[in-house]
């Protein structure tokens, strides 16, 4: 008896009950995610490029731009695949608060709960020597676009919890993640205060509903 075939609808790929995902070839799974029919060898070639991109990287985050340029995917397809890989990564390694914060993306995920708040929240992540979060604290809650933060309020919990480093995070309810002059001046003061007591400020990340900005990545830090 032949294996049942997969069907395609106008909305994209639809796997029949007789062919669960575990029974599909790699290029068929990719077609399922992208909503495209794996016609001929085209999808297999795209699949090979995707596997080559991830080779040796396991589920390390890859940007949609990388997928688009390296694998020949349209922007929406690259975004869909990047989202699927990120979901798989989170399912395999649930965020129990004990994973190291290694990038601005990690910091953004750790502070996801303040991204859409209607007022500015200034949050500090306190890390051990391996960059694993050991504590977090909301230092200040401001108005729609203003916040007041003092160095002593940031570093007192760092000393209490024996933190080796901190990451500063605050949200911009407006959605614009460009740092204000006050943001830049506050960061400079906190970096200097951290140096005096031996606790490094690794980054300051501004988050919004759909974007973020890292001071370190933008060379503000």
Percentage with pLDDT > 90 across the chain:
38
What DSSP designation does 141 have?
E
Q: How high is the pLDDT of residue 84?
A: 87
Q: What is the CATH number of domain 104-214?
A: 3.40.140.10
Percentage with pLDDT > 70 across the chain:
81
Are 213 and 178 within 8 A, CB to CB? Answer: yes
Are 127 and 133 within 8 A, CB to CB? Answer: yes
pLDDT in tens, 19-53: 567 777 888 888 888 887 766 578 888 888 888 88
pLDDT in tens, 106-137: 898 889 889 889 999 999 999 999 899 999 99
Q: How high is the pLDDT of residue 93?
A: 61
What DSSP designation does 145 have?
S
What's the average model confidence in pLDDT over 194-200?
95
Q: How high is the pLDDT of residue 61?
A: 65
Provide the residue ranges of all domains of the chain, joining segments of one domain with +: 7-92, 104-214
Q: How high is the pLDDT of residue 169?
A: 96
**Mean of pLDDT over the chain:** 82
Residue 62 predicted with pLDDT over 80? no
Tell which wins on pLDDT, 33 or 194. 194
Furthest CA-CA distance within the chain: 75
Question: What is the pairing mode between strands 165-171 and 200-207?
Answer: parallel
Half-sphere exposure of 194 (CA within 13 A, CB side): 24
What DSSP designation does 199 have?
-
Residue 64 predicted with pLDDT over 80? yes
pLDDT in tens, 46-59: 888 888 887 765 55
């Amino acid at each position: 008896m032949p294996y049942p075939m997969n069907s395609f609808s106008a909305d994209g790929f639809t796997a029949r009950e007789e062919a669960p995902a575990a029974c599909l070839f790699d290029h068929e799974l990719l077609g399922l995610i992208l909503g495209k029919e794996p016609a001929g060898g085209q999808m297999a070639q795209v699949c090979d490029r995707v596997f080559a991109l991830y080779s040796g990287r396991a589920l390390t985050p890859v940007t949609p731009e990388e997928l688009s340029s390296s694998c020949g995917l349209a922007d929406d397809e690259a975004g869909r695949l990047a989202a699927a890989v990120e979901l798989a990564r989170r399912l395999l390694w649930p965020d129990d608060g004990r994973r190291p914060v290694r990038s601005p993306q990690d910091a953004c995920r750790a502070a996801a709960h303040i991204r859409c708040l209607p007022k500015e929240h200034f949050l500090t992540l306190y890390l051990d020597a391996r960059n694993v979060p050991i504590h977090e604290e909301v230092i200040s809650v401001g108005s729609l676009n203003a916040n007041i933060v003092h160095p002593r309020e940031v570093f007192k919990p760092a000393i209490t919890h024996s933190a080796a480093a901190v990451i500063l995070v605050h949200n911009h309810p407006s959605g614009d993640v460009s740092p204000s002059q006050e943001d830049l001046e506050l960061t400079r003061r906190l970096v200097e205060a951290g140096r005096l007591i031996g606790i490094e400020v690794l980054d300051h990340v501004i988050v919004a509903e759909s974007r973020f900005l890292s001071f370190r990545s933008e060379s503000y830090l």
